[in-house]
């Protein structure tokens, strides 16, 4: 089945963690649907490789760590000199190690929460004022089924994603009187590089909980993100959209 394209003509999207995995696939579909795309990623080599492969004049990129507020704000200032930011996909994330809470390295625990939760806060904090000025915005926060269910041996990741779900609900309500939608998505496991950060047993355990009995395909995920990011989404906000193959039914 061919992927459905959307109308993102004249829209500019920032996609964090866009150099590979989910973020890169979203970037591809946005570009094919007429958007200008700006990838933010911490990995300059991966940005270079992916930008070369995409080879699209409507694609630009910044090397930025989303957990560094000042760096995020500096990027936003530079971009908004030339263009609006219409769409923000808060997708950058890491799982961190597979470990019980009492064995978890304290600095790593903070780092996982810093990237998954504070990264989302930082990007929203820096970009939302310009969306308010333009009375237009679509924000999608990439959480995880772990943020709903709480995965054993992944407390930092589960907390970071649960925080991003709560942030979505608060921010969505704060912006509900404007043409700005803020939603979260909660995918189950998909075969991207992020799985390498966890043990094989942990990944198998996650998969065994999915009634669809398979991994999520990145293209399936992108389709949901596209609709939430589109102009057509005029009502849904402050909500959490599940894409976990039946694992989470709320």
Binding residues for ligand NAD, total number by CB under 6 A: 30
SS3 label, residue 242: strand
Q: Does 65 bind ligand NAD (CB under 6 A)?
A: yes
To ligand NAD, the closest distance from the beta carbon of 179 in angstroms equals 26
| Interface residue with ligand NAD, options 124, 187, 240, 248 (CB under 6 A) | 187
Question: Is 62 an active-site residue?
Answer: no
What pairing do the DSSP bridges indicate for beta strands 59-63 and 137-142?
unpaired
Residue in 62, 104, 136, 157 annotated catalytic = 157
Among 189, 237, 225, 215, residue whose Cα is nearest residue 27: 225
The C-alpha atoms of residue 22 and residue 11 are separated, in whole angstroms, by 20
Query: Taking a C-beta distance cutoff of 8 angstroms, is the pair 24, 1 a contact?
Result: no
Q: Does 41 bind ligand NAD (CB under 6 A)?
A: yes
Taken in order 222, 183, 92, 36, the sign of the CA dihedral is: positive
The C-alpha atoms of residue 37 and residue 193 are separated, in whole angstroms, by 22
Binding-site string for ligand NAD from residue 71 to residue 100, where x marks contact by CB under 6 A and - marks none: --------------------xxxx------
Would you please indicate which residues are annotated as catalytic (active-site) residues?
157
Binding residues for ligand NAD (CB under 6 A): 16-17, 19-23, 40-43, 46, 65-67, 91-94, 115, 119, 142, 144, 187, 189-190, 192-195
């Amino acid at each position: 089945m061919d992927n459905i394209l959307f109308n993102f003509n004249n829209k500019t999207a920032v996609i964090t963690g866009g150099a590979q995995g989910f973020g890169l696939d979203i970037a591809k579909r946005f570009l094919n649907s007429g958007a200008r795309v700006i990838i933010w990623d911490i990995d300059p080599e991966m940005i270079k490789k992916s930008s070369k492969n995409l080879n699209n004049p409507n694609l630009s990129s910044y090397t930025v760590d989303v957990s560094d507020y000042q760096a995020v704000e500096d990027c936003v200032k530079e971009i908004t000199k030339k263009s609006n930011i219409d769409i923000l996909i808060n997708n950058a994330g890491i799982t961190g190690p597979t470990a019980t809470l009492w064995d978890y390295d304290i600095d790593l625990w903070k780092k996982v929460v810093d990237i998954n939760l504070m990264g989302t806060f930082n990007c929203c904090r820096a970009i939302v004022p310009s969306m308010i000025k333009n009375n237009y915005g679509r924000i999608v926060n990439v959480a995880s089924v772990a943020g709903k269910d709480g995965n054993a041996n992944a407390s930092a990741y589960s907390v970071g994603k649960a925080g991003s779900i709560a942030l979505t609900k608060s921010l969505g309500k704060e912006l509900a009187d404007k043409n700005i939608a803020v939603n979260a998505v909660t995918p189950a496991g998909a075969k991207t590089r992020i799985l390498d950060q966890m043990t094989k047993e942990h990944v198998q355990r996650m998969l065994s909980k999915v009634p669809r009995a398979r991994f999520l395909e990145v293209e399936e995920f992108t389709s949901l993100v596209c609709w939430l990011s589109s102009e057509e989404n005029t009502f849904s906000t402050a909500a959490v959209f599940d894409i976990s193959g039946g694992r989470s039914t709320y």
